[in-house]
Amino acid sequence: MSPFGFILTFFGIILIFGAIFYTQKKISLFFRFCVFFTGASLILFTAFPSILRKLGLLFGLERGADLLVYASVAVLLYSVVFLLQKNSILSAKITHVIRSMTIRDATHFPIISAKTVLVMACYNEESVVAQTIEKIFEFDKDLAIVVVNDGSHDNSLAILQKLSAKFPNLRILHHPQNLGQGAALETGFEYIRQGNIKADYIVTFDADGQMDITDLPKMLAILRENPEISVVLGSRFLEKQSDNMPIFRKILLKTGIIFTNLVSGIRLTDTHNGYRVFRKNILPKIRISLDGMSHASEILDIIAHEKIPFRECGVKILYSDYSLHKGQKSSNSLKIAFNIIFKKFF
């Protein structure tokens, strides 16, 4: 036997025994079959090279060894997808545990009743979060706000706790570790679903001061005047109101619009604007499973899939030096696209 044949046989035996010994583990039956089949094939092809040559010719390959290369690539790709799915499931379990603990620790507060509640994710916003919240309550003291401190390692939590003593309609939830904006918003949603906040409308709002609270009345008016509409989506391009938007970001956003149109089949002028208003009765349908920034596209996918009636509304987004410096990197667009495609098709 040649050295190459010996190596194939050796790894074939390891794969076969691995598949057999791990039958008691919670591993996909198809994955175990692939491992066993691959190991058996390696031994068979080593003992009878002519079989490999014939199989190669059957697939139009001059060399049978090429078939092994292509098969190995296919198995590798499947293994990568399999491991990504396992990692996604594990991350979801960790997020669920942290969310349950966070909500449990905040259920002792009195129930807030308000027509409208704003849900914010806060991560290291110590320099702006107080100003953002104070500006909201100055505009309308009857609003309610749920802020989810998403594992901030600056002074954000202390600032928020101080503000909660000043404003009775402010609730602070705390993630002990950073999970991502999507996870933080879903924690706020779940807190409301469990009856801790009584409100007719739920608004997603940024803690960094980019959004203009004076846009909220016209968004709410759309829902009040149109009972058939369940969601109002803010748009920076509908009325061209946003100031100081960098040209490169505008190009990325326009590309995102095309991507979302293709993946979700939903037609919008702005697909990654987080300024959104929901009727409370559709909140059970809006379940965010993507912890990071991909949640904005995931919500649109849910709206399209559930055929939830929506309308866009022009809003103003302020691009300050702080928000531009702290905002998500342009490279994150690729990660967002990958997460959406992976969740939708795998």
**pLDDT for 1 beyond 50:** no
Torsion sign, CA atoms 113, 114, 115, 120 = negative
With pLDDT > 90 as the criterion, what percentage of the chain qualifies?
51
Chain segment 81-115, per-residue pLDDT in tens: 777 778 888 999 999 999 999 999 998 999 999 99
pLDDT for 240: 63
pLDDT for 80: 76
Where would I find the beta strands (DSSP E) of 38-154? Answer: 112-113, 116-122, 144-150
Chain segment 195-222, per-residue pLDDT in tens: 999 999 999 999 999 999 999 999 999 9
For residues 309-327, average pLDDT: 81
Chain segment 3-23, per-residue pLDDT in tens: 545 445 555 555 555 555 554
pLDDT for 262: 75
Cα gap 119→217, rounded to integer Å: 16
Least confident interval from 85-89, 224-228, 239-243: 239-243
Q: How many CB atoms lie within 10 A of CB 285?
A: 13
pLDDT for 242: 55
Q: How many CB atoms lie within 10 A of CB 24?
A: 7
pTM of the model: 0.78
**pLDDT for 52 beyond 90:** no
Q: Determine contact, residues 301/264, Cβ cutoff 8 Å.
A: yes
Q: Determine contact, residues 311/221, Cβ cutoff 8 Å.
A: no
For residues 127-132, average pLDDT: 96
For residues 179-192, average pLDDT: 97
For residues 323-341, average pLDDT: 61
Annotate 39-73 with b (16+ C-beta within 10 A) or e (fewer): bebbbebbeeeeebbebbeeeebeebeebbeeeee
Give the domain ranges of the chain.
3-97, 112-345
Cα gap 234→216, rounded to integer Å: 10
For residues 63-86, average pLDDT: 73
Instruction: Indicate the SS3 state at residue 54.
Output: helix
Q: Determine contact, residues 218/266, Cβ cutoff 8 Å.
A: no
pLDDT for 4: 47
**pLDDT for 272 beyond 60:** yes
- What is the second-level CATH architecture of the domain 112-345? Alpha-Beta Complex (3.90)
Cα gap 95→179, rounded to integer Å: 7
Confidence at 177, pLDDT banded by 50, 70, 90: very high
Choose between 278 and 47: higher pLDDT.
Answer: 278
Cα gap 158→198, rounded to integer Å: 26
Cα gap 65→35, rounded to integer Å: 19
For residues 307-313, average pLDDT: 96
On average, the pLDDT of the chain sits at 83
Confidence at 49, pLDDT banded by 50, 70, 90: confident
